[in-house]
Amino acid sequence: MLRDKAIRSLALIGLVILLVAAFFAFFLDDESSVETVSLPSLSLGCDRVIWGEGALELHAKTSNISDPIFLWTIDGVLFSGGERIVRNFSLGEHTVLVNLSFNGQSQSLEDDMSVFVIDSVEGVSVRDFKVSNNRWGFQTIYHGRDAGVGGVMVSLNSRLPREVDSCGYFSTEPLFSGEYLWHAEYHGEVVASGSFDIAEVYELKIVKIDLGEVYTAGGTVDGRIVLMNTGSTRVEGFDIDTKIVNLRYAWMGDAAKREFSKSYRSDLKPGEIYEIPIHVTIPEKVGGVRPRGRYKITVDLLLSGERVDTRTTYTRVE
């Protein structure tokens, strides 16, 4: 029995060292399997503002619904249609309502929106807000309420103007820290302007670990770990500390775990991605023993010697 335990211990140590040398532990999926129930939903989206009389396509977006029947009401006039309809709107405010029946008409949902048709910029404006450490956002408003004003152009410092989306939203690309000036134009007139500051933030995050959850001894592992500069300054290097524990042999203490570190050099601007690829073959046997077991891997990401992100994940070798 003691001899068997010694063989297992030797196999475990050999396996862990081999996996560490191949960076196997850096690339293990952290997504757990959680079953969720998706409820039926219906949405007409945001309120809309359009310039001048004309046609507008309306879209009733649904999910988890079978055999839908749509009943539309515009300004009190009832009519049937599909999930997409096109209607002409005159100047002024209009109310749109959709009633959705499904599952043999045993269930129903409702949603509504407003459509404003205008011929002047009066009441149109834009508000700005922080989106993240390195991004700034803009939202069109109409008489004090959020609404999609199509055609509004937002200019930032000397950059080319960008048009908001159909719901009036626009977000900048990742920016360096500093002060920025902006203004918004609609049909040739400035409808809003201002300035904002992006604070100096030094930050790097693990955003994706792309690998399977189960591997077979003798098989090949292909994957990657993806980091992103989520701050507003350059990241020129980072370190990763990793601890691996084979839970099957956790009772053996230090013999069942390994800790190590690796340094990387980089030159990441705000928003840029750093990918570390992995390609390794898992041995069929180590010291005559198949490297089976469930592994717990804890990865610490460090900047300037300080931990900035941690991830613990599990994988299994069969």
Distance CA 213, CA 317 (A): 9
Nearest to 47 by CA among 116, 123, 117: 116
As beta bridge partners, residue 96 has 74, 113
User: What's the rounded mean pLDDT across residues 21-26?
Assistant: 40
Question: Which range among 107-121, 148-162, 163-177, 217-231 shows the weakest confidence by mean pLDDT?
Answer: 217-231
pLDDT value at residue 20: 39
Cβ contact 154:161 at 8 Å: yes
User: What's the rounded mean pLDDT across residues 107-132?
Assistant: 97
pLDDT value at residue 80: 84
Position 11 confidence tier, pLDDT thresholds 50, 70, 90: very low
How does 246-281 read in b/e, with b if 16+ C-beta sit within 10 Å? bebbeeeeebbbbeeeeeeeeebebbeebebebebe
What's the distance, CA 231 to chain centroid? 16
Question: Which range among 33-47, 78-92, 221-235, 299-313 shows the weakest confidence by mean pLDDT?
Answer: 33-47
Q: Which residue has the higher pLDDT, 314 or 286?
A: 314
Average pLDDT, whole number, for the chain? 84
Sheet hosting strand 220-229, strand order edge to edge: 204-210, 220-229, 273-281
Position 10 confidence tier, pLDDT thresholds 50, 70, 90: very low
How does 210-229 read in b/e, with b if 16+ C-beta sit within 10 Å? ebeeebebeeebebebebbb
- Please check the confidence at residue 257 and state whether its pLDDT lies above 90: no
Domains within the chain, CATH numbers bracketed: 14-31+202-317 (2.60.40.10), 53-118 (2.60.40), 124-198 (2.60.40.1930)
What's the distance, CA 178 to chain centroid? 25
Amino acid at 309: D
Q: Which residue has the higher pLDDT, 79 or 199?
A: 199
User: What's the rounded mean pLDDT across residues 1-9?
Assistant: 45
Cβ contact 133:232 at 8 Å: yes
pLDDT value at residue 168: 97
pLDDT value at residue 306: 93
Question: Which range among 26-35, 128-137, 176-185, 220-229 shows the weakest confidence by mean pLDDT?
Answer: 26-35
pLDDT value at residue 256: 66
- Please check the confidence at residue 83 and state whether its pLDDT lies above 60: yes
Using one digit for the tens of pLDDT, what is the confidence trace for 267-281? 999 999 998 776 767
User: What's the rounded mean pLDDT across residues 95-121?
Assistant: 93
pLDDT value at residue 291: 64
- Please check the confidence at residue 26 and state whether its pLDDT lies above 90: no
Q: Which residue has the higher pLDDT, 26 or 215?
A: 215
What are φ and ψ of residue 250, in 5° steps?
A: -60, -30
**Residue 11: Cβ-neighbour burial (10 angstroms; 0-12, 13-18, 19+):** buried
User: What's the rounded mean pLDDT across residues 233-259?
Assistant: 80
- Please check the confidence at residue 3 and state whether its pLDDT lies above 70: no
pLDDT value at residue 255: 65
Which value, to the nearest 10 degrees, does the dihedral of the CA atoms of residues 299, 301, 306, 312 take? -30
pLDDT value at residue 280: 67
- Please check the confidence at residue 19 and state whether its pLDDT lies above 50: no
249 DSSP 8-state letter: G
Using one digit for the tens of pLDDT, what is the confidence trace for 122-167? 999 999 999 999 999 999 999 999 999 999 999 999 889 999 999 9
User: What's the rounded mean pLDDT across residues 33-46?
Assistant: 80
